[in-house]
Amino acid sequence: MSENQNIGSLSGHSKVVSNKKMTFAERIYLPAIFGGFAITLSHFFKKKVTVQYPEVKRPFSEIYRGKHVLKRDDEGRERCTACGLCALACPAEAITMIAAERKEDEMHLYREEKYAAVYEIDMLRCIFCGLCEEACPKEAIFLTQEIVPSNFHRNDFIYGKELLVEPVDKRVDISKRQTPEVLKFKLDKNQSHNT
């Protein structure tokens, strides 16, 4: 028994290398080359698996998690109170924010006394796990079905409030990704953060 055969494989997937001599057909490679051509040719007649993105898009899973949205309440005020729980829950440390105190003439802009003057998500760090959404006590952040588009510069992947807060006149429907139980909970005015 050779020395090599005595060494066990840690993964248990070791394979003994064959010393079998190649046949004439194997040595001239032609059968293997034509076999490869045949496989390639056979794909011409099969149903294409590629799609002409972005003109054609594949249907997403109903629970697909894409770009985030910072929600407003029914009166158009930003829901986020800059509590930082989303940033704390984020395993990728993708969220940063700077909190500020609401002034008297800003009551119509921010729902809570404290709000996020700066709120940023680094989409290159984000793994779209949805933990920020789960951690938020104010129903302020949700993941949507929107894809984060590709870009040429790393800085352009840092999304600030201008890209995250939903427009007042163009609300983002996040209800599709919610289970009936969650939706019922969110409509329950007895829950303090729904009022």
Could you list the residues that contact ligand SF4 (CB under 6 A)?
80-86, 89-92, 94-95, 116, 121, 126-132, 135-136, 138, 140-141
Instruction: Considering the complex, state which of residue 15 and residue 127 has its C-beta at the smaller distance from ligand SF4.
Output: 127
Burial class (CB in 10 A: 0-12, 13-18, 19+), 30: exposed
State how far the Cα of 76 lies from the Cα of 89, in Å rounded to an integer.
26
State how far the Cα of 195 lies from the Cα of 186, in Å rounded to an integer.
10
CB 176 within 8 A of CB 145: yes
Residues ≥6 apart with Cβ < 8 Å to 183: 175
Instruction: Considering the complex, state which of residue 140 and residue 172 has its C-beta at the smaller distance from ligand SF4.
Output: 140
To ligand SF4, the closest distance from the beta carbon of 108 in angstroms equals 18
To ligand SF4, the closest distance from the beta carbon of 100 in angstroms equals 12
To ligand SF4, the closest distance from the beta carbon of 104 in angstroms equals 21
Instruction: Considering the complex, state which of residue 76 and residue 84 has its C-beta at the smaller distance from ligand SF4.
Output: 84
3-class secondary-structure state, position 12: coil
Instruction: Considering the complex, state which of residue 32 and residue 98 has its C-beta at the smaller distance from ligand SF4.
Output: 98
To ligand SF4, the closest distance from the beta carbon of 88 in angstroms equals 8
State how far the Cα of 67 lies from the Cα of 48, in Å rounded to an integer.
29
